[in-house]
Structure 1
Amino acid sequence: MDTIARVKQLSEEHNVTLYQLAKMAGITYSTLKNTELRNGQLKVDTIERICIGLNIPMSEFFEEPQA
């Protein structure tokens, strides 16, 4: 799973920018941008903080989109 793509999708669904999401999650914006620029993946603890910031369960983060 492309975790950055999922974060972008969730931020759009919740009508927040990546910057706003980073603030809500208590992480730095550069964490998201640098991971995106390196084509990397987010760590589980970062994903957990994003889920807490969005008030969603981690299981929702990892759900595959319905066709």
Structure 2
Amino acid sequence: MDTQKRIRELMEERNWTDYRLAKEANLSHSTVSNMFNRNNAPTLPTLEAVCRAFGITLAQFLCRGRRSAVD
């Protein structure tokens, strides 16, 4: 899964900037910027903070767009 792409999709749905995500997730702006500009994969605590900011669980973040084995 492309974690940064998924985060960008969620940001676009909400019309959020990097700054807004950092504020909502209680992260530094540099943490969020580095995730995209330096292609740094977010740590688990960072990803959990991002999910809380979006109002979704980590499982919802990871499972979106995946097809079930039954399909």
> How does the TM-score come out when normalised to structure 2?
0.78
Gaps of 5+ in 2: none
Name the residue aligned to 2:3. 3
Q: Which 4+ residue blocks in structure 1 deviate beyond 6 angstroms?
A: none
CA 1:38–1:44: 2 relative to 1, 3 Å: same
Name the residue aligned to 1:21. 21
Q: Percent identity?
A: 36
**What is the alpha-carbon root mean square deviation over aligned residues?**
1.8
1:42 aligns with 2:42: yes
Structure with more relative contact order (C-alpha pairs < 8 Å, separation 6 or more): 1
Gaps of 5+ in 1: none
State which structure, 1 or 2, has the greater radius of gyration over its C-alpha atoms.
2
